[in-house]
Structure 1
Amino acid sequence: MMHCANDIIMLFNGLFDQPCQTVLVRGDNEPEYLPAGPGPAQVIFAHGYFSSALHEISHWCIAGEYRRTLQDYGYWYCPDGRSREQQFAFEQVEVKPQALEWLFALACDGRFHISVDNLAGQGAADPQLFASRVACQAIAYLAPDAVNAGASGFENRPLSGFNSSIPCRAANFLHALMRFYGTEGTLTEALQKDARRVAPLWAAVGSDSRNTKDTETV
């Protein structure tokens, strides 16, 4: 399937422009998040790449209300060329965003690739462990459970078909992607199959429930 970044821009902006005052923007350089000023907040993805759009959206979905008032969510990015210790810290905070990105890609009937983003350094601290943790988190997001039926509002509405640990904005975006790409009802099976490619160790051994329940960063 051919994927167009303009479709993702249309879906994201149609869903989040008004209720969240946030728009997705095609960038010419590196990705960046700019908080709202006179205009809406901007999730800027790199070089018009479809996969970059999904990745930056995943970070936005996880960032809490305070983080979304700060440029790049207030995080300092340690560039390519990280030491093993720096890379391990990087991977710790990338598990949830990459788990969401994987689900977004599958909802688009697309292909996901684990990113350790350290080509000039020592690569992944532990590539098999990192891939397994991402797979574990992605599966956990799809495991249905009871959600608060009294929740209300765009950010807190009940999430049909997902675990309550998934950020509400991510669940809403997943529903929009599945409707647009015609992948409704296929996500869990597609993830289980794709895990053999992305995280073969996890697929062989089975899932691990060591995922956290926090849906957003504060």
Structure 2
Amino acid sequence: MSQKSEHHYQRLIQVFKRCFKEDYNTLLVAGEDEPYYQPARHEGEYNQVVFAHGFFASALHETAHWCIAGEARRKQFDYGYWYEPDGRNEAQQKSFEQVERKPQALEWLFSLCCDFPFQVSVDNLNGVEVDRQAFTEKVAEQLTQLLETDALPKRAVTFAKALCREFNCSWPNRQKVRIHY
């Protein structure tokens, strides 16, 4: 799958690097298969936010998770979270959606800041049927709440504003969120 040149993942890597390499010793890295977070293991190494298959959307999503993770979580592989794989039952999927609401809201914010299409990820192709529209509405509500209450994490604001500059986009508002779903 080819990406438009304006939405090539290398641009995200460079924006992330400008924002976080010095202050957080962290880089955004294109990976192969599953995305993950790898804290630096030795002096002189960088923490790495690794996204999947060079996908632009994956880079935005993994950056969102990193922007939410607190200092203690950023010292652990994959932030110390256990991931419930594809094939989740209804209760597991509901739990997944609850946990994913905020990172996907930030991913949506980042998408708006670089004029890239956003689509929720339910990440459960072999499990219970998922109501994508209902989840999309919950993610939109989360993003709207974050924007209206100025409750965005500091690193998310830094990255989002840098994306707006890089991609010549205006800061999103509630109306812009509603229009895009």
Instruction: State TM-score, norm by structure 2.
Output: 0.92
Task: Give 1:61 deviation, angstroms.
Answer: 0.4
Distance in 2 between residues matched to 1:89 and 1:13, nearest whole Å: 32
CA deviations 1:39-83 (Å, max 9, x no partner) are 111000000000000000000000111110110000111100001
Task: Give 1:86 deviation, angstroms.
Answer: 0.7
Distance in 2 between residues matched to 1:43 and 1:127, nearest whole Å: 27
8 Å Cα contact 1:116/1:123 also seen in 2: no
Aligned to 2:135: 130
Structure 2: which 5+ runs fail to align? Answer: none
Aligned positions of 1:99-110 closer than 5 A: 99-110=105-116
Aligned to 1:119: 125
Displacement over 6 Å in runs of 4+: none
Task: Give the alignment partner of residue 19 of structure 2, picking from 10, 15, 20.
Answer: 15
* Residue 74 of structure 1 pairs with residue 80 of structure 2: yes
8 Å Cα contact 2:37/2:79 also seen in 1: yes
Task: Give the alignment partner of residue 58 of structure 2, picking from 34, 52, 55.
Answer: 52
Aligned positions of 1:180-191 closer than 5 A: 180-185=166-171, 187-188=172-173, 189-191=175-177
CA deviations 1:149-168 (Å, max 9, x no partner) are xxxxxxxxxxxxxx1x1100
User: Which has the greater radius of gyration?
Assistant: 1
Aligned to 1:96: 102
8 Å Cα contact 1:22/1:43 also seen in 2: yes
Identity over aligned residues, as a percent? 48
* SS of match in other structure, 2:106: helix
Q: Which amino acid aligns with 1:166?
A: L
Task: Give 1:136 deviation, angstroms.
Answer: 0.8
Structure 1: which 5+ runs fail to align? Answer: 146-162, 198-218
8 Å Cα contact 2:110/2:163 also seen in 1: yes
Task: Give the alignment partner of residue 177 of structure 1, picking from 163, 167, 175.
Answer: 163
* SS of match in other structure, 1:33: strand
Aligned to 1:168: 154
Q: Which amino acid aligns with 1:3?
A: H
Task: Give 1:133 deviation, angstroms.
Answer: 1.6
Higher normalized helix content (fraction of residues) = 2
Task: Give 1:191 deviation, angstroms.
Answer: 1.5
8 Å Cα contact 2:120/2:132 also seen in 1: no
Aligned to 1:152: none
Distance in 2 between residues matched to 1:111 and 1:26, nearest whole Å: 20
Distance in 2 between residues matched to 1:63 and 1:191, nearest whole Å: 24
* Residue 140 of structure 1 pairs with residue 145 of structure 2: yes
Q: Which amino acid aligns with 1:55?
A: H
Task: Give 1:129 deviation, angstroms.
Answer: 3.4
* Residue 37 of structure 1 pairs with residue 23 of structure 2: no
